Amino acid sequence: MEPLRGLRLYWEGIAECGVPSMKAVLTVLGILFIIAWLVLWLAVKVTFGAIHLLVVIGAILIILALLKVV
């Protein structure tokens, strides 16, 4: 079965003469930057959430300690 002549896979022609093309390098860098941004964004959101949760728990503990003293 002969493959279609017009069908060309994306990764064909990425490396010409053993050297990756500039388009392939920029594509990979773009994908890596987007993944890094998503991971760091998620880490910041989780950190902010944890800090606020600790502040709320601390405030509750202070209030409970003051109520037990009085």
| CA–CA gap between residue 54 and residue 33 (Å, rounded) | 31
pLDDT at 3 (0 to 100): 56
Residues 6+ apart with CB under 8 A from 21: 13, 14, 15
Nearest to 14, CA basis, from 31, 33, 27: 27
The residues of the chain scoring below 50 in pLDDT are: 7
| CA–CA gap between residue 30 and residue 33 (Å, rounded) | 5
Predicted TM-score of the model (pTM): 0.55
Are 19 and 9 spatial neighbours (Cβ–Cβ below 8 Å)?
no
| CA–CA gap between residue 43 and residue 62 (Å, rounded) | 28
